[in-house]
Structure 1
Amino acid sequence: MPGENLTRVEAQERAALVDVQSYEIDLDLTTGPEIFRSSTTVRFTAKAGASTFIDALTRTVHSVTLNGTALDAASVSDGVRIQLDDLAEENVLEVVADAEYTNSGEGLHRFVDPVDNEVYLYTQFEVPDSRRVFAVFEQPDLKATFQFTVTAPAAWEVVSNQTTPEPVVNGENGTWTFAPTPILSSYVTALIMGPYAVVRDQLTSSDGRVIPLGLFARKSLSQFLDSDYIFEKTRQGFEYYEAKFDYAYPFEKYDQLFVPEFNAGAMENAGAITFTETYVFRSKVTDAIKERRVVTILHELAHMWFGDLVTMKWWNDLWLNESFAEWASTIATAEATEWTEAWTTFQAMEKSWAYRQDQLPSTHPVVATINDLEDVQVNFDGITYAKGGSVLKQLVAWVGIDAFFAGVAAYFKKHAYGNTELSDLLRELEITSGRQLGEWSKLWLETAGVNTLRPEIVTTPDGTIKSFDVVQTAAVDYPTIRPHRLAIGFYALEDGQLVRKHRVEIDVDGESTAVNELIGLEKPALVLINDDDLAYAKVRLDEESLAVAIEHLKDIENPLARAIVWGSVWDSTRDAETKPADYVRLVLGNIATETESTTIRTTLTQLGTVARAYVDPAERAATIEHVGDSLWALAQGAEAGSDAQFQFVKFFANLASTPAHVEALQGLLNGSSALEGLEIDTDLSWELLEGLVLNGAAGSAEIDAALAKDNTANGAQAAARARATAPTEEAKLAAFALLVDSDEQPNTIVRQTAMGFQHTNDPVSLEAVVEKYFSSLTTIWKNRSYHIAETLIVGLYPAPLASQALVDATRAWLDANPETPALRRLVTENLAGVERALRAQAKDAS
């Protein structure tokens, strides 16, 4: 029988044969640390005499009973699928199997807290992993009700989509029998179990129901759970969405659970959201992370309607879930919470991600072609989330916000508890807006690539504009020229400020658009295309505006305008149009007074990339030293206790490279020197120590001592990252072997070790890994779960080498391995990053 990779054709064929009514799932979690007993009863209709299969990733199938007849489990099951032949019109299938706990964050993840040895479990089912827990028709359009029964230690909290019932206790164990869920796709069902600490509250829905609220975290982290604030954001989100969607919250309770070793930011299980523990702040975090948590809370809440209540038919419309939630959570954050600059954050982070993804060889339309499950796994990307969200923002501006929300409300009412395609949403929006959306969809959702817009300005000798054109280009491989609604801002230098003196809003269409409204005006100090960030496009500054920006970006008052300029120069640097050295000048000269935390975080991350990979290699060490010196000076000059001071110190530790830098880090860490207002807490201590390890000024003994003081899951992850950061060939080879030669490490240790592996100022230590990396790729892909394989393939790629030799080795592997499209996509994206770095290096050296 076929393997784990379900194809769309198989799913379509199965959906034509089968209609599922209900699942009854009984899990016994008292059978030891490796496996659990899973018993599933499925009721479904089918075409009489038809054959199909049900998905079940199992260690052992004990019995399969179809319509009262016992089947030979050994012959009908291969550990991945169970073959079902000669179906009746009405069917009852019973499967009893042993399934495996995972340490990869997929299926039923098992974690033991090193602080108190308590066991915590949670499920993660998107995309195809409910089949790791129970027998299931694993595709989103075969919805059903799910009734869970769980036997587990009686002292545990047991949470699912429905309200937790009182358990029947038998000795040390209890059995919880939940009520059936509403009609759901299997991937949004959930079970979270363990001795979680819980805080409870409630709210009143727009239809008058009382909705119980719960917040859960591990006992050893619960002291850091700021429940009042999280409940406040949740209430604000409920009120906003219920009003805008004109549809009351569709489930009976709303629990939010912070779970260990989570792969993503969060997951939209109906009524039982799981979040990464990164959002439980045991140490100081940046304002960027605080804001991101709010956006994530509202993102998952939006999914209760868009994704859970109404679900896409197949994964090609995954963007309908994620792009909508991305857009909705941003507008809700901006309009319903104190984070009123959420669209600036969106521009700085989400659109930067989208532009980067849209320029990779693997770019794809927002509505992607999804042939199988491996395709969808690699499409949780900047197109699906950030470009889709950006395009929806444009659509909202075009049809009008009131018409958009009215269309969405009609969509929810018409398709509640069902499955849809893109056309179903567009049809409702056409009705409420009166606009035809077929051409818009074709240009923006069904074609790939990002356009570049640049001004072409001709002036008289006295600076008066004779002609002003917006020139639009597209990538050779993705030549679509699109219509854009955008603003152009003119900024003049006045009293030390760059002040917007003129704004015109226009429609750009075609390869060149004349802006006659600007003829006769004096050319200003800075011309900003896409001011106010209305369009999805890369924008360029003219030569004079770039020079002004390098000197005066900090003097623009509006944070969104600053973010657009930051992004414009970053894009032109990545495209090898602006010298990387000029980007370094721009950042170091203007970052000191930036007010937006996400802009600081994103920009300093990009600065590190430029210093380590984009500058001329002959200037790399000097550039890294200069950046380190400057960041330390910025930290010393920043406002005491400010977010900027905190970020400057964090990035200084990451980029430290000289004995003077080491001395500064040691002083902060041992307390012999201090910055006013800066607390050296647990997590910041780890970052300072990692900076010392990066420079060979600390090693295993210091890491062991720090771990002894912080014997927690967070501490273990920080220690793993620090060990892999050691600047020696031996350390990099050891990190590689730890992850590749054994599958014992849990997902978070794999991820953090890979981060340390990539953390280097002198990439020569990675040269010994190149051959091992390529010889291991096929084995990794074959033998590891998807999330672990992706982390290894991306995280262990020796990208910091940024050399022609690495390009040649990567191309040789691609030439020799034409199979496995999803694996090739990851390797091709790795290659594209190195090729881009080489072009930037050549520009810097020119």
Structure 2
Amino acid sequence: MPGTNLTREEARQRARLLTVDSYEIDLDLGGAQDGGTFRSVTTVRFDSAEAGASTFIDLVAPTVHEVVLNGTALDPAEVFADSRIALPSLEAGPNELRVVADAAYTNSGEGLHRFVDPVDKQAYLYTQFEVPDARRVFASFEQPDLKGTFQFTVKAPAGWTVISNSPTPEPQDNVWRFQPTPRISTYITALIAGPYHAVHSSWQGGPDGRSVPLGIYCRPSLAEHLDADAIFEVTRQGFDWFQEKFDFAYPFEKYDQLFVPEFNAGAMENAGAVTIRDQYVFRSKVTDAAYEMRAETLLHELAHMWFGDLVTMEWWNDLWLNESFATYTSIACQADAPDSRWPHSWTSFANSMKTWAYRQDQLPSTHPIMAEINDLDDVLVNFDGITYAKGASVLKQLVAYVGVDEFFAGVQAYFRRHAWGNTRLADLLGALEETSGRDLKAWSKAWLETAGINILRPEISVDDSGVITSFAVRQEAPALPPGAKGEAVLRPHRIAIGTYELSPDGGGGAKLVRTNRVELDVDGGLTEVPQLVGATRPDVVLLNDDDLSYAKVRLDDASLATVRDHLGDFTESLPRALVWASAWDMTRDGELAARDYLELVLSGITKESDIGVVQSLHRQVKLAIDLYADPAWRETGLARWTSAALEQLRAAAPGSDHQLAWTRAFAATARTPEQLDLLAGLLDGTETIDGLAVDTELRWSLLQRLAATGRAHDQAIDAELALDPTSAGERHAATARAARPTPEAKAEVWASVVEDDKLANAVQEAVIDGFVQTDQRELLAPYTAKYFAAVKDIWKSRSHEIAQQIVLGLYPALQVSQGTLDATDAWLADTDLVPALRRLVVESRAGVERALKAQAADAAAG
């Protein structure tokens, strides 16, 4: 939408001029069941530093009825344009503005999202305001450093519940009058309204034994699946751990967690009213990895109550610090909190989050952790692997560098000093310098202000008797991808080096046991490690053991030879995950052929106990074969993988997480008539596997594969939807229909997504997922030209979330060819492209270029 951007310089000027006091927001949601628009009345009180100055307030609304500034009515036709209301001739000191508008419900997950549950036909509402979408609900100074208090008054339909940042009041005549919030930013205010199901409890703790009310909400149609006790357990664990580490009382009056439909992200840290995607209310059996991921999300948002909500970044260039801190502390809580179910959470971090970071950091769009955010368009595409995962990795190294106790002592001082205020990175680093005695300026410059990833390699010499005569760590700084800004640099790393020896496991096999660990600082191109000289050469040398630093790690030839046969024999999960990640990175870089990666996985995965790692390996193997394997060998690789998956499915313990994971892996690539017959038999009950519960979600997985291979048609999809007439069922059915291998099915999808704009965000995502099938490259090939003909207009005409789904989801990533690169380059030659759109397409192009190189490497290996 034109005019919805805001530059950093505009925000600076507005912040220099204004100090916001309070908002009073009156919303009439009485017609929410019917949708359309709702009346929004905003009264904002603020001070101006200058008499006669002019500024603006933000609002995205179909209609503005009244604008009254300091008692003077302004003509909306004159002052409202391009999502801004001009405010001329301010008074020095206090000013009061009243804006009456009709705002619109959305189905895109932005602003005030409206969803109708097909089960009870009731509407459910929730807000999502990060980054700039509070202005879709009320007039606001939409930037994080203009904090104020917020008092909501909401009229809602009878029988509804309304939840906001302040404790929920008793309604009077269906009107809910909330008390003012503390001083917070616009983007963490929230309203959730509808006939939600609720469960309540409390947390008691802290030095004063304070009781904090806790609430969990979901739609009634999900209530039977809501495991509230497990969610409360994780929440209380987080309260206990954060209270101790932060030494600052929980800053809000209550803590609600609301599982809401069609949510675009994992969750959102609204102050005291966290919204969470309701796929985390598990309708069917899932593996423990899903519960671990949910717990990390819950803890991440709870950490934000202090870091982000209590103390808030001044501008979005410090978004990384918000997200990295919450990520680091949530995983540290899982790893270290007493009685945690997931003490090995750093294994999951190394295996998934850091893999995401490594991928993002090798794209042409790579950027420093502390990115230059010039405007809102920049930040909207910056919720990426660098902001979350690389930043958290670097924070983990910072903790190792300054010391755990010193780190949290600095954080405690930071909270006390800046409570309810706004800060910059320098404020946190200053506090950490005080508590640790370390000068962090050089560290910050090397790690936070540069882009790219380093590679660490061991250089080992041994004598004829196998004794190490020299040991050093070689650090490399590969050139940044073409188009990336800046230059590659060598950085200081705090790492551990682990040595591992094979020893009998007592059952006729072997195990890899760590025999020594050296922790040191690595800096410059070559760092000598005299501590290991004179020792007998171990079977495996692992750099960055314990995953303290952020770097790509390579094994020396002897270690690589050992792990090819014994990767699954590490006694601990973290070193296994680190070696798995290194092998995957080598595959993506074309240093390890896709077919060799497949063999490595098949040789070690049967010994992998960590279910999260197993499921990641499933995804990576499929991706390697689909994109990185020589096309001439691809079908051979898929056949071998599918047969192995079926073998492991049948061998897995009945009812185990591994059995479920292998079932899904097998279903994703089943291809022969016999394999598809098994899927169909599991679906209709004529085939059974001991211990395997073919429940609702698994049934949809089976059916979707059958639809994609032409074995299930509309009648089967309709019948399954009749068994599961829920919103999740509707999405699964949409995916199955879009997956059908016919030109008509693909044309129908294209028309509904590209040529029309009626689909809700979650349904559109489901349809795109079904459209893109790796077995259907030829069927999808004609859509490459159509994509480039349509994508620019889509970006202009759709909301950010909807447009981004289309831009990324429909890019012809499966068409791995020079022709796709040429078509992309021709489109990128347009000089009139919005930078955010250009970035998304450039990132997608990089994936095709990488796949071409990997395919060539695999062909050479063959």
Q: Provide TM-score, normalisation by structure 2.
A: 0.96
One-letter amino acid of the counterpart of residue 114, structure 1: P
Shift of 1:79: 5.3
Task: Name which of 460, 474, 477 aligns with 1:474.
Answer: 477
> Which residue of 2 is the match for residue 179 of structure 1?
179
Distance, in Å, in 1 between the alignment partners of 2:185 and 2:202 is 26
One-letter amino acid of the counterpart of residue 179, structure 1: Q
Given the alignment of the two structures, is residue 563 of structure 1 paired with residue 563 of structure 2, yes or no?
no
Given the alignment of the two structures, is residue 41 of structure 1 paired with residue 50 of structure 2, yes or no?
no
Mapping 1:152-231, distance limit 5 Å: 152-169=156-173, 174-206=174-206, 207-231=208-232
What do residues 699-742 of structure 1 show as CA deviations (whole Å, max 9, x unaligned)? 22211111111110100111111222223343333222211111
> Which residue of 2 is the match for residue 753 of structure 1?
767
One-letter amino acid of the counterpart of residue 81, structure 1: R
> Which residue of 2 is the match for residue 452 of structure 1?
455
What do residues 58-117 of structure 1 show as CA deviations (whole Å, max 9, x unaligned)? 010011111111111111112511011011122110000000000000000000000110
> Which residue of 2 is the match for residue 303 of structure 1?
304
What do residues 167-198 of structure 1 show as CA deviations (whole Å, max 9, x unaligned)? 111xxxx1111100000000000000000000
Task: Name which of 392, 397, 401 aligns with 2:400.
Answer: 397
Distance, in Å, in 1 between the alignment partners of 2:703 and 2:603 is 28
Distance, in Å, in 1 between the alignment partners of 2:659 and 2:493 is 39
Mapping 1:459-538, distance limit 5 Å: 459-477=462-480, 478-495=487-504, 496-538=510-552
Distance, in Å, in 1 between the alignment partners of 2:749 and 2:477 is 41
> Which residue of 2 is the match for residue 791 of structure 1?
805
Per the alignment, in what secondary structure is the counterpart of residue 45 of structure 1? strand
Contact 1:655 1:761 in 2 (8 A): no
Distance, in Å, in 1 between the alignment partners of 2:223 and 2:202 is 19
Shift of 1:814: 0.8
Shift of 1:464: 3.3
- Of 833-842 and 650-659, deviating more is 650-659
Contact 1:61 1:79 in 2 (8 A): no
Per the alignment, in what secondary structure is the counterpart of residue 168 of structure 1? coil
Shift of 1:593: 2.6
Given the alignment of the two structures, is residue 130 of structure 1 paired with residue 149 of structure 2, yes or no?
no
Mapping 1:598-609, distance limit 5 Å: 598-609=612-623
Distance, in Å, in 2 between the alignment partners of 1:469 and 1:402 is 30
Shift of 1:654: 1.1
Distance, in Å, in 2 between the alignment partners of 1:464 and 1:121 is 68
Contact 2:4 2:82 in 1 (8 A): no
> Which residue of 2 is the match for residue 64 of structure 1?
67
One-letter amino acid of the counterpart of residue 424, structure 1: D
Task: Name which of 114, 121, 124 aligns with 2:125.
Answer: 121
- Of 517-526 and 326-335, deviating more is 517-526
Distance, in Å, in 2 between the alignment partners of 1:730 and 1:837 is 29
Task: Name which of 712, 730, 738 aligns with 1:716.
Answer: 730
Distance, in Å, in 2 between the alignment partners of 1:332 and 1:192 is 28
Distance, in Å, in 1 between the alignment partners of 2:682 and 2:604 is 25
> Which residue of 2 is the match for residue 29 of structure 1?
29
Contact 1:803 1:834 in 2 (8 A): yes
> Which residue of 1 is the match for residue 714 of structure 2?
700
One-letter amino acid of the counterpart of residue 491, structure 1: Y
What do residues 104-147 of structure 1 show as CA deviations (whole Å, max 9, x unaligned)? 00000000000110110000000000000000000000000000
Shift of 1:445: 0.8
One-letter amino acid of the counterpart of residue 363, structure 1: T
Distance, in Å, in 1 between the alignment partners of 2:722 and 2:193 is 28
Given the alignment of the two structures, is residue 51 of structure 1 paired with residue 64 of structure 2, yes or no?
no
Distance, in Å, in 2 between the alignment partners of 1:728 and 1:462 is 65
Task: Name which of 358, 373, 381 aligns with 1:355.
Answer: 358
> Which residue of 2 is the match for residue 329 of structure 1?
330
Shift of 1:475: 2.2
Shift of 1:204: 2.1
Distance, in Å, in 2 between the alignment partners of 1:462 and 1:754 is 60
Contact 1:205 1:249 in 2 (8 A): no
Distance, in Å, in 2 between the alignment partners of 1:841 and 1:461 is 40
Shift of 1:426: 0.6
Distance, in Å, in 1 between the alignment partners of 2:95 and 2:313 is 26
Distance, in Å, in 1 between the alignment partners of 2:553 and 2:745 is 42
Shift of 1:750: 1.2
What do residues 319-375 of structure 1 show as CA deviations (whole Å, max 9, x unaligned)? 111000000100111122221111111111111111111111111111110011010
Distance, in Å, in 1 between the alignment partners of 2:675 and 2:556 is 37
- Of 181-190 and 280-289, deviating more is 280-289
Contact 2:494 2:522 in 1 (8 A): yes
One-letter amino acid of the counterpart of residue 332, structure 2: I
> Which residue of 2 is the match for residue 342 of structure 1?
345
Distance, in Å, in 2 between the alignment partners of 1:93 and 1:615 is 62
Given the alignment of the two structures, is residue 658 of structure 1 paired with residue 672 of structure 2, yes or no?
yes
Per the alignment, in what secondary structure is the counterpart of residue 801 of structure 1? coil
Distance, in Å, in 2 between the alignment partners of 1:737 and 1:462 is 70
One-letter amino acid of the counterpart of residue 488, structure 1: I
| Identity in percent | 57
Distance, in Å, in 2 between the alignment partners of 1:203 and 1:240 is 12
Contact 2:266 2:276 in 1 (8 A): yes
Shift of 1:516: 2.8
Task: Name which of 95, 117, 136 aligns with 1:91.
Answer: 95
Per the alignment, in what secondary structure is the counterpart of residue 242 of structure 2? helix
Contact 2:406 2:436 in 1 (8 A): yes
Shift of 1:243: 1.1
Task: Name which of 356, 369, 377 aligns with 1:374.
Answer: 377
Distance, in Å, in 1 between the alignment partners of 2:802 and 2:382 is 16
Distance, in Å, in 2 between the alignment partners of 1:243 and 1:455 is 40
One-letter amino acid of the counterpart of residue 437, structure 1: L
Q: How many residues align?
A: 842
Distance, in Å, in 2 between the alignment partners of 1:817 and 1:570 is 36
Distance, in Å, in 2 between the alignment partners of 1:287 and 1:155 is 37
Shift of 1:465: 2.9
- Of 261-270 and 753-762, deviating more is 753-762
Per the alignment, in what secondary structure is the counterpart of residue 799 of structure 1? coil
Mapping 1:672-683, distance limit 5 Å: 672-683=686-697
> Which residue of 2 is the match for residue 247 of structure 1?
248
One-letter amino acid of the counterpart of residue 126, structure 1: E
Shift of 1:817: 4.2
One-letter amino acid of the counterpart of residue 278, structure 2: E
Per the alignment, in what secondary structure is the counterpart of residue 153 of structure 1? coil
Distance, in Å, in 1 between the alignment partners of 2:183 and 2:722 is 48
Contact 1:205 1:248 in 2 (8 A): no
Distance, in Å, in 2 between the alignment partners of 1:836 and 1:2 is 35
Per the alignment, in what secondary structure is the counterpart of residue 26 of structure 1? strand
Per the alignment, in what secondary structure is the counterpart of residue 220 of structure 1? helix
Shift of 1:783: 0.8
Shift of 1:461: 4.2
Given the alignment of the two structures, is residue 104 of structure 1 paired with residue 118 of structure 2, yes or no?
no
Given the alignment of the two structures, is residue 145 of structure 1 paired with residue 154 of structure 2, yes or no?
no
Contact 1:694 1:726 in 2 (8 A): yes
Q: Provide TM-score, normalisation by structure 1.
A: 0.98
Given the alignment of the two structures, is residue 236 of structure 1 paired with residue 245 of structure 2, yes or no?
no
Mapping 1:522-601, distance limit 5 Å: 522-601=536-615
Per the alignment, in what secondary structure is the counterpart of residue 413 of structure 1? helix
Per the alignment, in what secondary structure is the counterpart of residue 814 of structure 2? helix
Distance, in Å, in 1 between the alignment partners of 2:658 and 2:393 is 28
Per the alignment, in what secondary structure is the counterpart of residue 140 of structure 2? coil
- Of 202-211 and 106-115, deviating more is 202-211
Shift of 1:506: 2.5
Shift of 1:471: 1.4
Distance, in Å, in 2 between the alignment partners of 1:675 and 1:512 is 55
Structure 1: state its 5+ residue gaps.
none
